[in-house]
Amino acid sequence: MQKTKGLLDRQVRLLEYLTSSEAIYGDSCGSLRDPILQGIDRAFLHIEARFSHEKRMDKIAAVFPKTLALLGEDRDAVVREFVHACPPVDIGRLENARQFSDFLISRWRARRPALPYLPDVTACELACAQVRMDADSSPAVAKTPTHTGPSEIRRKSGITLLRTRFDIRPIFEDKRGEISPIERLVPLAISFRAGELGIFELAPEVFDLLAALGSWTAVDELPDAEGLIADLGEAGLLEERR
Amino acid sequence: MFSVAKADRRRRPAVGIGYRSAIAEWTRANLKCFDLLEVTIDHCIYGSATQCAEIFDLVGRIPINAHGIGLSIGTDVPLDLAYLDQVAAIVEQLHAPTYSEHLAFTRVPGRDLANLLPLPKTIAAAESIITKVRTVQSRIGVPFLLENISYAFEWPDSNLSDADFLNLICRESGAGLLLDVENLYLNSQNHDFDAYEFLDKLSPDLVREVHMAGGIAISDAGLQRSFLADTHSHPVPNETLDLLQYALSLYAPQTIILERDDRLDATGEILADVERIRSCVDQRSKYAKDKGLVRSSSSSARIPD
């Protein structure tokens, strides 16, 4: 029993080391400080740590290509801080992306980003990844929900709402050249339909209405919104059950 | 319904590839090139609805092997039984004749490296794995196979050889071996042992399935020579094919799967590798006869009473 307990302890210490900056970046030389790891070849541990880190960063880069590009010269330092602050806890792409996003948000609270619109870009990239995943997880042909009672509406599943401080849409339109997003509050809807990602600006009142329609709501409760509801239904932003 | 028994009747292993969503369309268009596919069970558990639907659509069109990457059987904590039950359900849905996993650990509570790590090759570690294999066998309705991994480092207290460790676990638990020939080749190069001797030492009838792949050599300032990495990204090296030929002269696996996870657009390389593997299969009898090969006895490592 003693031996079994010992193995887990060694495995924990090994993973702590393999996810450390020291192991990933080969920051120090000589023998390993942790006596439990002594006797293991440090160079081989560095290889293992580097591989695992690169695989994790590939997942993160797949979600945040624009954020990582816009970090520019800060990128390596930011990733190093991330490695130090946030060891990997999950194998999933989106989970690692969320971890990276949370880390950036917390970092930017303490230190403003070099580009003031970067938090908006990060939030938008994460929302795009989430919307893609949601779309892929839902059935290809959505069943019309059965319902008895008054007609009800809600925001269509797979639509994410995001309010940004800058108009960052040009960054997502793959326009060439330097883009300087204009500072203004922009209510956005992000959708993924028929294999196409869409990022739309909404009128503030539409944004507010869609934000309020996260769950089924009786149409009767929105007496002045008939026209708007019809338009939103046509645009694929609302679903209705009768 | 297809059956891998087809391969048994012909007394030659069925040859196929690991199914990957990124080349799903190409795979479906080229099904005739393969005797079977291997599906990664975790892609069915965690993949999108579309990916899962594409996988289950293959059931009945081609035999499917079930392979896992998420069990982490080597982590020294009790197995995740809820995960195992999901595996059992998918194995059944796929009509897979076996379920295989890596003899490795990937995570500990609170930390997930998502990379296969070796266990200390000791009697104590083997005992722990044997108990867990029995748990797996009690919950999964098909034979369970363990796969040898490629590893960068060795635990200093390892006192069994790779072959002895595998022989011991498989013999005591009744698990079969999914022999990854590329992993064997890489380990033999990176850690200076004789891969042919490893094959000679494996117990008779242990090898039920085979994996093949091709990786890259990487350099690092801390290493005295290049390190061969199991990246599943390039054509199978000739040295690995030679090892396969030797393994086929000793053992009769039911299936051989080519694994490819990177540079998937090089589909010509995938088809060429499948053909190279088939050539090895065709030549196996001749090879054994020419070399006068005789399988040596199995290892002597035993769990103490």
CATH number of the domain bearing residue A208: 3.90.930.50
Q: Determine, for residues A89 and B112 on separate chains, whether the beta-carbon distance falls below 8 Å.
A: yes
Residue B302 placed within a domain: no
Q: Which domain holds residue A240?
A: 118-242
Q: Which positions in chain A touch B114 (Cβ < 8 Å)?
A: 52, 55-56, 88, 91
Distance separating alpha carbons of residues B258 and A75, to the nearest angstrom: 37
Q: Which positions in chain A touch B70 (Cβ < 8 Å)?
A: 91
Residue B73 placed within a domain: yes
Number of domains chain A is built from: 1
Q: What is the pLDDT of residues B140-157, one digit of tens each?
A: 999 999 999 999 999 999
Distance separating alpha carbons of residues B33 and A1, to the nearest angstrom: 51
Q: What is the pLDDT of residues A56-108, one digit of tens each?
A: 999 999 999 999 999 999 999 999 999 999 999 999 999 999 999 999 999 99
Residue B120 placed within a domain: yes
Q: Give ∠ CA A206-A207-A213 in degrees, rounded to 5.
A: 90
Distance from A149 to chain B by nearest Cα, in Å? 31
Cβ(B24)–Cβ(B50) below 8 Å: no
Number of domains chain B is built from: 1
3-class secondary-structure state, position A64: coil
A47 at B interface, C-beta within 8 A: yes
* pLDDT of B193 over the 90 cut: yes
Q: Which domain holds residue B244?
A: 5-291
User: Residues of chain A with pLDDT > 70: what percent?
Assistant: 90
Supply the DSSP symbol for B95.
Answer: T
Residue A170 placed within a domain: yes
Helix (H) or strand (E) holding B6: helix B5-10
Helix (H) or strand (E) holding A102: helix A93-110
A41 at B interface, C-beta within 8 A: yes
Distance from B118 to chain A by nearest Cα, in Å? 10
Q: What is the pTM of this model?
A: 0.88
- For position B300, what pLDDT does the model report? 41
Phi, psi (rounded to 5 degrees) for B48: -75, 165
Place of tokens 């098909």: B142
* pLDDT of A118 over the 90 cut: yes
Distance separating alpha carbons of residues A160 and A134, to the nearest angstrom: 10
Q: Determine, for residues B152 and A44 on separate chains, whether the beta-carbon distance falls below 8 Å.
A: yes
Question: Who contacts A7 (Cβ-Cβ below 8 Å, separation ≥6)?
Answer: B76, B120, B124, B125, B128
Question: Who contacts A72 (Cβ-Cβ below 8 Å, separation ≥6)?
Answer: A114
Cβ(B214)–Cβ(B170) below 8 Å: no
Q: Categorize the per-residue pLDDT at B289 as very low, low, confident or very high, splitting at 50, 70 and 90.
A: low
Q: What is the pLDDT of residues B79-128, one digit of tens each?
A: 999 999 999 999 999 999 999 999 999 999 999 999 999 999 999 999 99
3-class secondary-structure state, position A36: helix
Chain B nearest-CA residue for A94 = B46
Residue A216 placed within a domain: yes
The counts of H helices and E strands in chain A are 10, 6
Q: Determine, for residues A91 and B114 on separate chains, whether the beta-carbon distance falls below 8 Å.
A: yes
Distance from B79 to chain A by nearest Cα, in Å? 13
Q: What CATH code is carried by the domain that includes residue B130?
A: 3.20.20.150
Distance separating alpha carbons of residues B52 and B89, to the nearest angstrom: 13
From the list B49, B114, B229, the residue facing A136 with the nearest CB is: B49
- For position A175, what pLDDT does the model report? 67
Cβ(A210)–Cβ(A155) below 8 Å: yes
- CA dihedral over B4, B7, B12, B15, signed as positive or negative: negative
Q: Which positions in chain B touch A16 (Cβ < 8 Å)?
A: 111
Q: Which positions in chain B touch A12 (Cβ < 8 Å)?
A: 108-109, 111
Supply the DSSP symbol for B221.
Answer: T
Q: What is the pLDDT of residues A144-183, one digit of tens each?
A: 556 667 788 999 888 999 999 999 999 998 766 678 899 9
Q: Are β-strands B36-40 and B14-18 bridged in parallel, bridged antiparallel, or unpaired?
A: parallel
Q: Categorize the per-residue pLDDT at B294 as very low, low, confident or very high, splitting at 50, 70 and 90.
A: very low
Residues in chain B: 305
* pLDDT of B301 over the 70 cut: no
Residue A166 placed within a domain: yes
3-class secondary-structure state, position B189: helix
